[in-house]
Chains A and B, each alone.
Chain A
Amino acid sequence: MSFDARHLLGIEYLRPDAIRTLLDLADRYVDLNRSPQKHSTALAGLTQINMFFEASTRTQASFEIAGKRLGADVMNMAMQASSLKKGETLIDTALTLNAMHPDLLVVRHPHSGAVNLLAEKVNCAVLNAGDGRHEHPTQALLDALTIRRKKGRLHRLTVAICGDIAHSRVARSNILLLGKMENRLRLIGPPTLMPASIEEFGVEVYDDMREGLQGADVVMMLRLQKERMDGGFIPSEREYYHRWGLDAEKLSQAKPDAIVMHPGPMNRGVEIDGTIADDINRSVIQEQVEMGVAVRMAAMDLLARNLRAARESEGDAKGVII
């Protein structure tokens, strides 16, 4: 199998063939999810813990449904309200949980790299559900699956990512993934919301949205992350909407069959016009949510297979059955 990772910490660590393997399996889970009997036993007997150090409704629900459909015992821990308030460090929390023998740990954390740190300290498979401004790998994978199903391929497409790139882990993971799959990437947004030296990532950078959208196959909008901004990055939401909000007029620059994506939750009237978001001929936002569950099922299934294989070979080495 070409997916040999122990954890899913970021797209950076995945090879293109591993990405393809994961998406192929996710396609099969889409079919399962659309059937009346939505159960599989891929994770039967395994324990999945969702640790969210940052508030999340959608991603947490998606991981929870994915785990339950695969037969795992799923537990949610809202960490903002938990022991961190009592001064416990991330590593102590991880060690405490590790002692309960979870098999899959799904982690979201407000600090970049926190999930990598945690993964070093536990013996289970860790899935990054978003760490600071670093990565959000399952989001990029579900976006990739959506694109592949809508466009019939995941290479040689012109993809425009628009908006608040600087604060977005979704953008980072997507830039890495779409780059690895050999697409043409354009980043569009105000220069205050572009990360430093971003042009070194092999992307084209546009200040002007109309110019950047020309001939795009995919238009990926990002949420303006008001909660991550510690100063004035834009003068006002209305000026932002005027220049970088997606409306019908700007979208007309893209290819006629271009699809519109958004990782949600949307700020209607800030980064996207509500009528475009709701236009079933252009917007694939609901499909993205659907693909999210399938991609997370595939990711957990593959990691669980690797985990079982690793435990078996460990058991062989020790001469015991585990």
Chain B
Amino acid sequence: MSEQPLTLTNAILIDPEAGTEGPGWLRIENGMIAGTGTGAPPEGRTIDCGGKYLAPGIVDIGVKVCEPGERHKESYRTAGLAAAAGGVTTMITRPDTLPAIDSPEVLEFVTRRAREAAPVNIRHMAALTKGREGREMVEIGFLADAGAVAFTDCDRVVADTKVFSRCLTYARALGALVIAHPQEPILSRGAAATSGKFASLRGLSAVPPMAERLGLERDLAIVEMTGARYHADNLSTAVALPALRRAREAGLGVTAGVNIHHLTLNELDIGDYRTFFKLKPPLRSEEDRMAMIEAVREGLIDVISSMHTPQDEESKRLPFEEAASGAVGLETLLPAALRLWHGGHISLPALFCALALNPARLMGLPSGRLSKGAPADLVLFDPHKPFVLDRFRLRSKSKNTPFDGARMQGRVLATFVGGRQIFGKEGN
């Protein structure tokens, strides 16, 4: 679009690539970042940011939009609005829909729906095996040609190691990225909580944290064997981290992600069987949570995501073990992540490495940066603004957030995608 150039002035620029944070202005031309600077801003149309923080828009890997199949839980329209309000400028969607996104035809359908309904950038992941059943690989080539940025069966583990190793071998030839949520599927079967004192007290079936390491070790061995590009997502336990570290040190080139809820909540938050806190993998111990924060801080974990999983009230208003897993997170990702900054665990540039730069790089996208030539996908926010979250004010169709009633700090003031403001007060 050839709108006239725009300069966002009087901002604190957070540049994850340079690792800097400081006052300055940012100029947008033709939807791209044309430059940044300090001192007097260039001539032309300006928006005064009022001394608030300007960062690259969040790139959220693993968002579930429930199209096709469960549009009553979330549509591209509502997910897009939620993303815009949350400062998420690119959603990387999950294929665990009904039916799964496992063929170019389904991928074409969601691509069209995304384009006509959502105000933010959307890229899609496809399933790794047909129907996510772990038996036959999908048409990885056709799907990649049709725009699939990664291949994943999400929370279903491809238990058959022969199938999994063939998928990875084939994916390597095409340079395709494979994402897995590592877990030993038999040890974790039927689990509703992490094993330990809390699960024992509540009488809940539980999975030992070691099941995650077993799954990760298996995947890493197959990655070493096949040489595929691999991202371990949704890690949650301290015991899995040494395996990841060894793989990194061995030069395996794997990356890893964590869900924001595993950085900000622990098993005790479940309290008296509160099903909005039922996640997969389950919320872990406080020691695990602290280990995951440390892993993000030191860069062992590359990506923080919301793992946005809409569930309607009916799926959650059940006895804990019968209730559905997952939480919505698009609108709470930034304020929740800012808890780590307020707590002194991580700097803002490092936080936006995990929220924007690293996921963009992983997906081969040019965003996530403030450099000249990058797309003007930006979030302007006030990290200090306090509020109490009311789940019924979320834009998602589903309101299953664990942060209902939580005191949070950090509000998105404006969101820009391709230089165009899609959220926030005009002229903010």
Do A113 and B319 form a contact, CB below 8 Å, given A89-B314, A196-B195? yes
B200 touches A197 (CB 8 A): yes
A114 interface residue (CB < 8 Å to B): yes
Question: Which 7 residue pairs of A and B lie closest in terms of their CB atoms, listed nearest first?
Answer: A113-B273, A133-B203, A134-B203, A111-B319, A195-B200, A112-B203, A114-B319
Please, which residues of chain A bring their CB within 8 A of the CB of B322?
A: 111
Over the window 117-160 of chain A, the binary record of Cβ atoms lying under 8 Å from chain B Cβ atoms (1 yes, 0 no) is 10000000000000111110000000000000000000000000
A90 touches B318 (CB 8 A): yes
CA of A250 to CA of B320 in the docked complex: distance in angstroms?
Answer: 40
Please, which residues of chain B bring their CB within 8 A of the CB of A109?
A: 319
CA of A200 to CA of B197 in the docked complex: distance in angstroms?
Answer: 7
CB distance from B345 to the nearest CB of A (A): 27
Do A116 and B190 form a contact, CB below 8 Å, given A134-B203, A172-B201, A200-B197? no
CA of A91 to CA of B319 in the docked complex: distance in angstroms?
Answer: 10
Q: What DSSP secondary structure best describes chain B's contact surface?
A: loop
A112 touches B273 (CB 8 A): yes
Q: What DSSP secondary structure best describes chain A's contact surface?
A: mixed
- Interface size band for B: 20 to 34
Do A112 and B321 form a contact, CB below 8 Å, given A134-B202, A196-B206? yes
Restricting to A33-71, which residues have a CB under 8 Å from any CB of B? none
CA of A116 to CA of B270 in the docked complex: distance in angstroms?
Answer: 13
Restricting to A91-117, which residues have a CB under 8 Å from any CB of B? 91, 109, 111-114, 116-117
Please, which residues of chain B bring their CB within 8 A of the CB of A196?
A: 195-197, 199-200, 206, 208
CB distance from B272 to the nearest CB of A (A): 5
Q: Which residues of A approach B to under 8 Å, CB–CB?
A: 12, 89-91, 109, 111-114, 116-117, 131-135, 169, 172, 195-198, 200-201, 230
Restricting to B191-249, which residues have a CB under 8 Å from any CB of A? 195-197, 199-204, 206, 208
A113 touches B199 (CB 8 A): no
CB distance from B191 to the nearest CB of A (A): 11
Could you say which of A135, A169, A197 has the most chain B C-beta atoms within 10 Å of its C-beta? A197
Do A169 and B200 form a contact, CB below 8 Å, given A116-B272, A132-B321, A197-B195? no
CA of A104 to CA of B203 in the docked complex: distance in angstroms?
Answer: 25
Could you say which of B190, B197, B314 has the most chain A C-beta atoms within 10 Å of its C-beta? B197
CA of A135 to CA of B190 in the docked complex: distance in angstroms?
Answer: 20
B320 touches A113 (CB 8 A): yes
Partner of A112, one of B195, B202, B208, B314: B202
CB distance from A180 to the nearest CB of B (A): 14
Could you say which of B201, B202, B317 has the most chain A C-beta atoms within 10 Å of its C-beta? B201
Please, which residues of chain A bring their CB within 8 A of the CB of B203?
A: 112-113, 131-135, 169, 172
Residue ID in chain B nearest A199 by CB atoms: B197
CB distance from B186 to the nearest CB of A (A): 10
15 further contact pairs, Cβ within 8 A, besides A113-B321, A117-B319: A89-B314, A90-B318, A111-B319, A112-B203, A112-B204, A112-B321, A113-B202, A134-B203, A135-B203, A172-B201, A172-B203, A196-B208, A201-B197, A201-B200, A230-B190
Please, which residues of chain A bring their CB within 8 A of the CB of B200?
A: 172, 195-198, 201
What are 10 A-B pairs at a CB distance below 8 A? A89-B314, A111-B319, A112-B319, A117-B319, A132-B321, A133-B203, A172-B200, A196-B208, A197-B195, A197-B196
